[in-house]
Structure 1
Amino acid sequence: MALPLFRKLALFALAAAGLMFGIGAWWLGEDRIAAWIWAAGSLPTLAVLLLHIVQAIRRGEAGLDIIAVLALSGTLALGEPLTSAVIALMVSSGQLLEGWAAARAQREMTALLDRAPRQANRCEADGQIVTIPLDDVKANDRLLVRAGDVLPVDGTLAAGVAVLDEAALTGEPLPTRHEAGGRLRSGATNVGDAFELIAVTTAADSAYAGIIRLVQAAQTSKAPASRLADRYALLFVPLALLVAGLAWLLSGDPNRALAVLVVATPCPLILAVPVAIVSGMSRCAKRGVLVKGAGALETLATVKTLLFDKTGTLTGGRARVVALEIGDDGKDANGQGGAIDPSEMLRLAASLDQASQHVLAEAIIAAAQARGLSLSAPTAVHEQPGAGLTGQVDGRRVSVGSVAYVEEQAPAPQPPPWRARFLRRMGYEGAAGVFVAVDGDMIGAILLADEIRPEAARSLRLLRKAGAERLVMVTGDRSDVAETIGAALGLDDVIADCTPADKVAAVEAAKRLGPTLMVGDGVNDAPALALADVGVAMGARGAAASSESADVVLLVDRLDRLAEAMRIARRSCRIAVESVLVGMGLSFVAMGVAAAGFLPPLSGAVLQEIIDVAVIANALRALGDGRFGRKADAFPAGEAAGLKAEHDALLPLLDRIRATGDRLSAGQTAPTKQDLADLATHLRDELLRHEQEDDRALYPKVARLIGGADPMAAMSRGHREIGQLVRRYGRMVADLPDDAPDDPAALHETQRVLYSLDAILRLHFAQEEEIYHALADAA
């Protein structure tokens, strides 16, 4: 019923007051006054239900309210005001339960509209900057866009370079660089220096306004879901009327019809369904999933096709350092020949990046801090927006930025051989690269990418287990990047290069095959979220507009909570259906007894209350998780975070393994035996000690939580394989001659072992973190 929450509260208060004051009057012996009070208390509910039925008939709909009206009017007409008051209280309380949940489902566009700029800074002919209303912007106006501003309209870059965060439009987390004359879209955020924009559209015709219109149109066109209780009411109403009519017709006694109507009061439908559904919503809320209404939870239990945005949904939504590339012509920390250590390169780059506000600079600093590197304060820093920056770090001249910028700062007769290899890797992985030069030599590069969420693969498996039949990625990213992630996660389909309108079209196509769920986090996802049968927003870090448009909001930054919400929704709906079927079945038995004349109205009312209590008690089972008992032990979330920190501390060692393997390639200066032996010592003292401690103290605890005969067998096998590779590498290094190793076959075999060790360690760490993440969450 489309009543505001405060009106539903008022209706409930009137029904409750009528029942209680009537009982008070009856207790004082004023039976007649009590009857009038009970009847008066039920009339507002009857009036509202009648109004709603009229509105529903005009829309060609019908539902549960019909039988509630018949029960209320029948008891009033046949002189059973107490029963009428009880029914009114049940109806109004059920409406209040749903209204309380639906109050959070207001899909206003406030967040989306608040983000939209209201003004623009226009450059006048006399050189002054004038602030004007957005609607006054015309084509060819020259506008100033300051750092941090949202572009007010579509336009072209007048001069220089613009660095924009277009995540709100495309979902891509990495900033984009635009040259003079480039077309810029409204809704993007300027994350570089101020620039001038030549408007090519008005505000009403801009890209951002188009997204707002898409959201509004999607919300308007989205049909309301058919409610579970309404569907059962279509069966219950005619059968109850038929039984009551036959009882009166065959016996000639209207009291039999009244008794039938009393026991046919649809309390299992009025209360059991809302209780079960709201209980499920409460369970979801405890797990950090906000379900904005009972209808959304019921629909969530039926979805078969799930569509996912990529950035911020299946991936982390922010750039992270994933690899360090070291060239052979760098210098060590003392300026001597030989390749610089990967950690030292990262430390120098992060130290310089402390002077930059660039998104990639933040990622590089975060990676250095995660590795425990001590950063130095940079001096004499000069930044070229969107390209890179140069400065002094610990007396060394450091440059970081694009390949073109760093080559300009550190010119060389010819590019180093690793440069082309790294650029190809950037293209293969759809990643960004930051090149690093020290004292005039390009020494290496840092690879950054938006990595797949650690829980993504497990989440998709759980979603399939929860009933999802088709999983599709719908993204604005390039097809090569999207296909790589889709293949890694085992998705059924990937739709790339999508605009907001393309995502809406994808949702429309999916809806023709059945109930569809869309998951996203950006402004560009808002139209698709609004149109989907169930829109799910990653609300912990996503755009407010997506949360406003969605039916479900994940308040914690965990995709696996969606699978848990689906499981809760299915269980809650199953309990609701059980309650309805049991309640209706008992009511039909009671109706038959009443129609035969063996159950007077008063006894029927008592019996109906017993039935009501039984079905509501059953519906309250939805508050639990359906599991009997609990594990005696638990895996603390803090311990899982500590293990992740231990893995982060070992990342420099993993970087060194890869870098050493690279230096063993043909055409590069091979490391000395002392370098190789030093790495072997670190592997033995740091890595093997970590793995042995896991086997001794951690794996037994994890095994108890998982259960089974030997649940950690595969992970322990990984430890054994790691140990064998480390020992093999140590023996191979010991067999090398003391002077510079020059046996190509021996160097190639050593390189193969190092690359194998690097691959298995990264996979093993990822597997461990997924297991610990899941167990800590379950605890």
Structure 2
Amino acid sequence: MEHSAGDTLKIVLLAAAVAGLLAGLGLAYVMDRPDLAATTWVIGVIPVLAALLVEILRSLARGEVGLDIVAALSMTAALLFGETLAAAVVAVMYSGGTFLESFAEGRARREMRDLLSRVPRTATRHRDGHLEDVPLDQIAPGDRLLVRQGDIVPVDGTIASVSAFLDTSALTGESLPVKLAAGAAAMSGSTNAGDAFDLVATKEARDSTYAGIVRLVEQAQSSKAPMSRLADRWSLGFLLVTVAIAFAAWWFTSDPIRAVAVLVVATPCPLILAVPVALVAGLSRAAHYGVLIKGAGPLEAMARARTLILDKTGTLTDGRPRIVSISTQIDIEADELLRLAAALDQATKHPVAQAIVAEAQQRGLTLPVPQEVRETPGEGLTGIVEGRRVIVGGHGFVVGQVDAPAVDHPALSTGSVLVAVGIDGKLAGHMVMADPLRDGTHDMLSGLRRQGVDRILLATGDRHEVAERVTAGLGLDGIRAGLTPDQKVLLVLAERKHGPVMMVGDGVNDAPALAAADIGVAMGARGAAASAEAADVVLLVDRVDRLGPGVEIAHGARRIALESVVAGIGLSVMGMVAAAFGYLTPVQGALIQEAIDVAVILNALRALRIRPAAPKQMCRGTSASCM
């Protein structure tokens, strides 16, 4: 695992504190040299106390008052009045807690580093009858570029070929590839889903669509309010109680050792240790269900979310076209129509054709090898399958080659894709392709409402009629369609008046909104790297219903952390009162505090056994997304 400079410092401080404590114990009780033991304990405490004082000054400069002040007071008082062993114990407890919290952050974020991994670094440019690979920053408006199949469009431009098929789902939320004619505008960040085509650049890379989205992400992250630690929200009250009891003990007894004992017992290790233990356990438990939460702060925020905003394509829907219905016009079975169409579609890489082939294979249909295949880019295919002439493509393309009138099919007005099939010169039938709702979505949303989510909205770049059709029956509180990336950010900011906002998305166009939300959740299995980087939570499996268990685990871990805090503080206050009345020495107070720490940590570890309700979506076949 990689460590930052801050993480390395925390490791060094913990090692110094532990080494000082153990070495001093050896000198005091094995070699009978209490004088050297005291010096060793001081040496182990000084680095921790110095780093702690620097952190306190930084916090105060930011206007923050944290629990670190109590730990600094207890170590300083113990050293001033010769209670060096007590100081060493406190130093180990404090440095251990801060290291554990840092470990939680580093563990969750180590694989989410490259925001720009989707951005192409070079482009292929036509120059003097040859092709050359050039860096993006050398592309100027007017340059003619070649965009190969599967390539990402490097800059905004216009189509210079007869046509092009672009997958814009990562940018606009449109789940099905879009056919663009010559002269049409193409956005950077979209993917070439068809044959290679030429593009004439209209903007430089830094001014193009994808670069603008990246800037939105950076702005949203920089303006996002930092998440406060759960422990810090208890700090001021606990600090005042501690100082009041310690001052009273010294004032009424004139014995400074009693004040030291109070401060040692008051060292807020139930907060410093129990909270990160419970939250780290929650992070581990969530990861078991395929939910990567990037630290304790996001886990807390996930439990407090009151508004949920969902993207459509690739989030509520699978993001890939599927056959939703098959109708026949001649005397032929639906499966036979599908088999012949899929057999011909094996000859093309078009996404719709691949979906038809996948459906036929899932139904166990045997697909023969097609012969004499001819493809009209953007229109369809013709060929021979088992001696029969088959045509598959758009309705207009097929009708133009068979003896049949045009049909005003209802699917054309619902945002679905209509695929026509002709067999032996006749219109044989239609297949309606759509991006249907993911299984288990309704149950997941119902479960989230039970977990405290009051508002659920859809935010998509797709058309409003398509969004309404797909989400019918989900009981959403609102649909916002046709949104650009910056409009999604504005929606997130506007919804904050109802409480913390959780945003779920998968595309590049979702990344700014994910960064701006109180808790951003990305579909990481097939989603864009930019959205995974901008998000606070990543669903590692391609199932949005894992969000339910993730939220339930966040609630459970936070509840257990609060239980540990309340129990630990209650026991600490009892110990402080006992120390104030002289029933505990500083060392005894440190040992009792250790016992309290063990008790609350064991309670915090219960977060490892949280069992959320299992998603009702069942796995199909041997899908890798099933866990």
Taking structure 1 as the reference length, the TM-score comes to 0.77
Aligned counterpart in structure 2 of residue 450 of structure 1, from 435, 456, 469: 435
Q: Tell me the distance in 2 between the aligned counterparts of 1:178 and 1:4.
A: 51
Q: Does structure 1 conserve the Cα–Cα contact (< 8 Å) formed by 2:108 and 2:292?
A: no
Structure 1 segment 670-685 matched on structure 2, within 5 A: none
Aligned counterpart in structure 2 of residue 425 of structure 1, from 400, 411, 422: 411
What is the deviation of 1:425?
2.5
Q: Tell me the distance in 2 between the aligned counterparts of 1:167 and 1:114.
A: 17
Segments of structure 2 that go 5 or more residues without pairing to the other structure are none
Q: Classify 1:513/1:164 alpha carbon distance in 2 versus 1 (closer, same or farther; 3 Å).
A: same
Aligned counterpart in structure 2 of residue 82 of structure 1, from 79, 82, 85: 85
What is the deviation of 1:105?
5.0
Structure (1 or 2) with the larger CA radius of gyration? 1
Q: Tell me the distance in 2 between the aligned counterparts of 1:466 and 1:232.
A: 24
Q: Which moved more, 1:443-452 or 1:39-48?
A: 39-48
Q: For 1:576, give the aligned amino acid.
A: A
User: Hey, what does 1:66 align to over in structure 2?
Assistant: 69
Q: Tell me the distance in 2 between the aligned counterparts of 1:131 and 1:641.
A: 43
2:382 is paired with a residue whose SS is strand
User: Hey, what does 2:527 align to over in structure 1?
Assistant: 542
User: Hey, what does 2:116 align to over in structure 1?
Assistant: 113
Q: Tell me the distance in 1 between the aligned counterparts of 2:7 and 2:401.
A: 65
Q: Aligned residues, how many?
A: 622
- Structure having the larger proportion of residues in helix: 1
Q: Tell me the distance in 1 between the aligned counterparts of 2:472 and 2:148.
A: 41
Structure 1 segment 325-474 matched on structure 2, within 5 A: 325-327=327-329, 330=330, 339-412=331-404, 414-415=405-406, 419-420=407-408, 422=409, 424-428=410-414, 430-474=415-459
Aligned counterpart in structure 2 of residue 142 of structure 1, from 144, 161, 168: 144
Residue deviations 1:165-190 (CA, integer Å, cap 9, x gap): 11221232211100011111011111
Q: Classify 1:280/1:201 alpha carbon distance in 2 versus 1 (closer, same or farther; 3 Å).
A: same
What is the deviation of 1:247?
1.4
Q: Tell me the distance in 1 between the aligned counterparts of 2:217 and 2:403.
A: 51
2:116 is paired with a residue whose SS is helix
What is the deviation of 1:265?
1.1
What is the deviation of 1:131?
2.3
Q: Tell me the distance in 2 between the aligned counterparts of 1:389 and 1:498.
A: 35
Q: Does structure 1 conserve the Cα–Cα contact (< 8 Å) formed by 2:117 and 2:529?
A: no
Q: Does structure 2 conserve the Cα–Cα contact (< 8 Å) formed by 1:108 and 1:548?
A: no
Segments of structure 1 that go 5 or more residues without pairing to the other structure are 331-338, 646-775
Q: Tell me the distance in 2 between the aligned counterparts of 1:320 and 1:7.
A: 53
Aligned counterpart in structure 2 of residue 214 of structure 1, from 207, 213, 216: 216
Q: Tell me the distance in 2 between the aligned counterparts of 1:606 and 1:511.
A: 46
User: Hey, what does 1:653 align to over in structure 2?
Assistant: none
What is the deviation of 1:86?
1.6
User: Hey, what does 2:499 align to over in structure 1?
Assistant: 514
Q: For 2:225, give the aligned amino acid.
A: A
Q: Classify 1:369/1:109 alpha carbon distance in 2 versus 1 (closer, same or farther; 3 Å).
A: closer
Structure 1 segment 5-404 matched on structure 2, within 5 A: 5-26=7-28, 27-104=30-107, 106=109, 111-124=114-127, 126-327=128-329, 330=330, 339-404=331-396
Q: For 1:72, give the aligned amino acid.
A: M
Q: Classify 1:110/1:279 alpha carbon distance in 2 versus 1 (closer, same or farther; 3 Å).
A: closer
Q: Classify 1:264/1:163 alpha carbon distance in 2 versus 1 (closer, same or farther; 3 Å).
A: same
What is the deviation of 1:607?
2.3
Q: Tell me the distance in 2 between the aligned counterparts of 1:109 and 1:186.
A: 23
Matched, 1:524 2:509: yes
Q: Which moved more, 1:460-469 or 1:39-48?
A: 39-48
User: Hey, what does 2:461 align to over in structure 1?
Assistant: 476
Once the two structures are aligned, what percentage of the paired residues are identical? Answer: 52
Q: Tell me the distance in 1 between the aligned counterparts of 2:503 and 2:369.
A: 46
2:473 is paired with a residue whose SS is helix
Matched, 1:609 2:609: no
What is the deviation of 1:212?
0.7
Q: For 2:10, give the aligned amino acid.
A: K
Say what the alpha-carbon RMSD is for the aligned residues. Answer: 2.3
Residue deviations 1:39-97 (CA, integer Å, cap 9, x gap): 21122221221111121222222212121211222222221222222222112221222
Q: Tell me the distance in 2 between the aligned counterparts of 1:405 and 1:562.
A: 43
Q: Tell me the distance in 1 between the aligned counterparts of 2:67 and 2:586.
A: 23
What is the deviation of 1:9?
2.0
Q: Tell me the distance in 2 between the aligned counterparts of 1:515 and 1:636.
A: 27
Q: Tell me the distance in 2 between the aligned counterparts of 1:50 and 1:534.
A: 32
Q: Which runs of 4+ in 1 moved over 6 A?
A: 634-638
Q: For 2:525, give the aligned amino acid.
A: A
Residue deviations 1:219-238 (CA, integer Å, cap 9, x gap): 11111111110011111112
1:209 is paired with a residue whose SS is helix
Higher RCO by CA contacts (8 Å cutoff, separation 6 or greater): 2
Q: Tell me the distance in 2 between the aligned counterparts of 1:606 and 1:108.
A: 40
What is the deviation of 1:597?
2.4
Residue deviations 1:566-612 (CA, integer Å, cap 9, x gap): 11111211111111111111211221222222333233223222222
Q: Classify 1:111/1:326 alpha carbon distance in 2 versus 1 (closer, same or farther; 3 Å).
A: farther
Q: For 1:623, give the aligned amino acid.
A: L
Q: For 2:544, give the aligned amino acid.
A: L
Residue deviations 1:246-282 (CA, integer Å, cap 9, x gap): 2112221111111111111111111111111111111
Residue deviations 1:405-446 (CA, integer Å, cap 9, x gap): 21223254x33xxx32x2x22323x21111111122121111
Q: Classify 1:426/1:272 alpha carbon distance in 2 versus 1 (closer, same or farther; 3 Å).
A: same
Q: Classify 1:512/1:20 alpha carbon distance in 2 versus 1 (closer, same or farther; 3 Å).
A: same
Taking structure 2 as the reference length, the TM-score comes to 0.95
